[in-house]
Amino acid sequence: MKKYVLIYNPVSGDAKFKFRLDAVVEFLQQADGIVLPFRTKYKGDVRPFISQIKAFATDGVIVAGGDGTVHEVINAMLTEDVDVPLGIIPSGTCNDFASHVNFGKNLSSCLKAVTGGHWRMVDVGRVNEEYFLNVASAGLLTSVAHSVDTTLKNTLGRMAYYLRGLGELPNFQFLHVKITADGQIIKDDILMFLVMNSGMVGSFPTLAPEAKIDDGKLDLLIVNRCSISELMGLFISIFAGRHTSSSHIRHLQASEIHIECDQAVESDLDGELGPKLPLSITTVTNKLKVFKLP
């Protein structure tokens, strides 16, 4: 009999996963599994629970939530040295990493990946002393993520971020940064930067078309300073997947990235509030096991 730990966020996305909980338990039991559920209540409550599950001898950890919930779970697992495969049931506003590794919103497919027992090794990023699975960022839109009303976010989904970001444009101060990426130095005024593992951010699948989650590299995408009209055109290019040829975009790959700014700027890690700049970012290769469909 396989043993699984299920960690779920009852308020992620449309807050409806709790109504699917019985179906999850039934599926795992029919696959000769037993499940230990944990309902998150507040930020930081996952790690004490994770630290105790070694005694449960689990065969896998399943997380139901968005990118932020997954972020908290993988940090707890890696910090507490819980070396078992991770399964994801996407149920948040944004589910970028889960979408990239083909964990669609079909519940049976997500659970078949877990019970099938097949998994792959993936890279993670590390910022200072914290891990991220999908993206580390700062600037316009990333700062907005923590000020969007929860009701609006659950109603409009990722569109709530973009609407709030457009409203911030007239007052946004560009960031003067110094970025060192594998020895290459960039000094510029920028709108925002994204350091990506999967290349999918904000449900846009092709922000970094060459990104891979097992290549030992992170993809750095920089949006340079531009006018509001130029930025609107850039957004249209992003929607169409033509942004990589824009003169306002700089893209490169690196395994070590250091970012400094002369302003007090907070970062975002997988949708969660991260440390203030400066950031020392590195790739940790083959760090995490993730379930996959055969």
Is residue 164 very low, low, confident or very high in pLDDT (cuts 50, 70, 90)? low
Query: Residue 22 belongs to a domain with what CATH number?
Result: 3.40.50.10330
Query: Could you tell me if residue 18 is inside a domain?
Result: yes
Whole-Å CA distances, 139 to 47, 144, 145? 29, 9, 11
Q: Which residue segment(s) compose the domain that 226 sits in?
A: 130-285
User: What's the confidence (pLDDT) of residue 177?
Assistant: 96
Query: Could you tell me if residue 11 is inside a domain?
Result: yes
Is residue 150 very low, low, confident or very high in pLDDT (cuts 50, 70, 90)? low
219, 204 contact by CB (below 8 A): no
Same domain as 140, residue 71? no
144, 165 contact by CB (below 8 A): yes
DSSP bridge partners of 249: 223
Per residue in 12-54, pLDDT tens? Answer: 877 889 899 999 999 999 999 999 999 999 888 999 999 998 8
Query: Residue 256 belongs to a domain with what CATH number?
Result: 2.60.200.40
How far apart, in whole angstroms, are the C-alpha atoms of residue 12 and residue 270?
14
User: Is the per-residue pLDDT at 115 higher than 80?
Assistant: yes
The tokens of 240 are what?
Answer: 């169409």
User: What's the confidence (pLDDT) of residue 239?
Assistant: 62
Same domain as 145, residue 258? yes
User: What's the confidence (pLDDT) of residue 51?
Assistant: 92
31, 85 contact by CB (below 8 A): no
User: What's the confidence (pLDDT) of residue 156?
Assistant: 41
Per residue in 48-72, pLDDT tens? Answer: 999 998 888 899 999 999 888 999 9
First and final C-alpha spacing in the chain: 20
Q: Please choose, from the candidates 78, 61, 69, the residue with its C-alpha nearest in 3D space to the C-alpha of residue 4.
A: 61
User: What's the confidence (pLDDT) of residue 82?
Assistant: 95
Which has the minimum average pLDDT: 73-82, 143-152, 234-243, 267-276? 143-152
The tokens of 286 are what?
Answer: 């083959």
Q: Please choose, from the candidates 184, 206, 185, the residue with its C-alpha nearest in 3D space to the C-alpha of residue 194.
A: 206
Per residue in 256-265, pLDDT tens? Answer: 999 999 988 9
User: What's the confidence (pLDDT) of residue 152?
Assistant: 43
Same domain as 192, residue 95? no
User: Is the per-residue pLDDT at 170 higher than 70?
Assistant: no
Same domain as 265, residue 154? yes
Q: If you write DSSP's letter for every residue of 5-73 in order, what string do you get? A: EEEE-TTSTTS-GGGTHHHHHHHHHHTTEEEEEEE--STT-HHHHHTTGGGGT-SEEEEEE-HHHHHHH
User: Is the per-residue pLDDT at 176 higher than 70?
Assistant: yes
Same domain as 169, residue 108? no
In sign, the C-alpha dihedral spanning 72, 101, 201, 285 is positive
Query: Could you tell me if residue 123 is inside a domain?
Result: no
How far apart, in whole angstroms, are the C-alpha atoms of residue 20 and residue 144?
30
Residue with more model confidence, 100 or 141: 100
User: What's the confidence (pLDDT) of residue 56?
Assistant: 85
Query: Could you tell me if residue 122 is inside a domain?
Result: no
pTM as predicted:
0.86
Look at residue 170 and give its three-state secondary structure. helix
> What is the mean predicted confidence (pLDDT) over 186-213?
84
The tokens of 241 are what?
Answer: 């997947």
Is residue 110 very low, low, confident or very high in pLDDT (cuts 50, 70, 90)? very high
> What is the mean predicted confidence (pLDDT) over 180-186?
97
Query: Could you tell me if residue 292 is inside a domain?
Result: no
User: What's the confidence (pLDDT) of residue 160?
Assistant: 46
Query: Could you tell me if residue 124 is inside a domain?
Result: no
The tokens of 188 are what?
Answer: 């510029």
Same domain as 87, residue 178? no
How far apart, in whole angstroms, are the C-alpha atoms of residue 251 and residue 19?
42
Residue with more model confidence, 140 or 277: 277
